[in-house]
Amino acid sequence: MARLQPGTKIRLAPEDEYTHKPDAALNYNESMYFNMFDPVRKTGGWFRLGNRPNEGYAEMSNCLYLPDGRVAFMYARPKITGNEAMNAGGMKFEVVEPFKRLRLSYSGNVVVLKNPLEMADPAQAFKNNPVVPCEVALDYEGVSPMFGGETVNADGTPLDLDPEKSFAKAHYEQHMAASGHFTVGEERFEVSGFGLRDKSWGPRYWQAIHWYRWLPMNFGRDFGMMISIVTNDEGKQRQGGMVLKDGVYDLIETCTIESDWDDNWYQTALRAHLTTQSGAAYDVEGKVLSLIPLRNRRKAPDGSDLNTRITEGMTEYRCNGMTGYGLSEYLDQIVDGKPVGAGH
């Protein structure tokens, strides 16, 4: 979350857990995202629905990391006619009690990837790997305060945003506990663990950010983090996030991330150092257990092709003698075949 500009404030209300009336911008997007990882079974997943009602479709992603390294994945763009609910493509998010309890379900198919890196070429990945039925049912419980909201003017009126350069006008996150099950073909996995969720709404293009590193992680009910570094095409960087400790968020003041890479510029390990507003300092080490590369493409107004790569790595984290699990999500624009944030 960026530092506030003078004359602005953060607004967040329980009704923001539900869908909003879309802006006029063609690229209005309202999305909810959940992840969870079971520290005992070394399995987990992430789930996203992004409604684009003014474009007539939703973006649905379902990604499950199985204990043996396989990844079960599905992406779809189901048609929608409005923004009344988060329910499309077989995935459904329900608010049981705002800021406290939510429910997630999915019923549909997944492609099961023995080698998840094959998703760099989606057409071949779906052609060469089995597609099987999948069901997910998870109950989420908030274990932290809320982080973020909508940045508005001091008088409560909305900011004037350029839709072409926007990633979201409102965004919040929360650390969670989660339990339930998912089935992949004939296999059933009972899961219980921890994760993080977020919600955003407003105009969005995935190409509005040059590159970012997003590290959500949990070490238990009382200790977790979200580390974020966002960089624009001018090299200006925003560092932020929070540390959850004993039910309270301590906001991150500064952070650095050093990554190890393979030949495809996929992250394999990382080291993060951060300081918080309370004066605490943390060193975090991460080892990527399983990674799937995803992409988003569109044409710019001038007709040029824009290609965004997002690598999603289930990651084992170590900090203060504790072991936890979460995600390392690296987003990069691809220029001349190479991620622009390579080396960071």
Confidence of residue 1 (pLDDT cuts 50, 70, 90): very low
Tell me the CATH class for 205-344: mainly beta
Place of tokens 């044409």: 299
Tens of pLDDT, residue by residue over 16-26, are 999 999 988 88
17: which DSSP letter?
Answer: G
Q: Reply yes or no on whether the pLDDT at 142 is more than 60.
A: yes
Q: Reply yes or no on whether the pLDDT at 285 is more than 70.
A: yes
DSSP string, 173-216: EEEEEEEEEEEETTEEEEEEEEEEEEEEEEE--GGGSSEEEEEE
Q: Reply yes or no on whether the pLDDT at 43 is more than 80.
A: yes
**What integer is the mean pLDDT of 277-305?**
88
**What integer is the mean pLDDT of 176-197?**
98
**Residue type for 138, please?**
L
Contact 88, 78 (CB under 8 A): yes
% of the chain exceeding 90 in pLDDT: 78
**What integer is the mean pLDDT of 247-275?**
97
Give the model's pLDDT for residue 302.
74
Tell me whether strands 43-52 and 305-319 are parallel, antiparallel or unpaired.
unpaired
List the domain boundaries for the chain.
Answer: 25-202, 205-344
Q: Reply yes or no on whether the pLDDT at 336 is more than 80.
A: yes
Q: 14: which 2 tokens? A: 């329980």
Tell me whether strands 131-142 and 211-218 are parallel, antiparallel or unpaired.
unpaired
Q: 185: which 2 tokens? A: 């073909």
> Given 2.40.370.10, 3.30.2350.10, 1.20.120.1690, 1.10.1740.10, which CATH number is that of 25-202?
2.40.370.10
Give the model's pLDDT for residue 2.
46
Give the model's pLDDT for residue 259.
97
Place of tokens 């009910």: 221
2-18 core/surface letters (b: 16 or more CB in 10 A; e: else): eeeeeeeeeebeeebbe
**What integer is the mean pLDDT of 313-321?**
98
**What integer is the mean pLDDT of 51-56?**
96
Three-class DSSP category at 289: strand
Q: Reply yes or no on whether the pLDDT at 161 is more than 80.
A: no
**Same topology between domain 25-202 and domain 205-344:** yes
* pTM summary value: 0.92
Tell me whether strands 187-203 and 57-65 are parallel, antiparallel or unpaired.
unpaired
From the list 40, 46, 85, the residue with the least C-alpha distance to 62 is 46
Confidence of residue 296 (pLDDT cuts 50, 70, 90): confident
Give the model's pLDDT for residue 160.
62
Q: Reply yes or no on whether the pLDDT at 167 is more than 80.
A: no
Q: Reply yes or no on whether the pLDDT at 223 is more than 60.
A: yes
**Residue type for 281, please?**
A
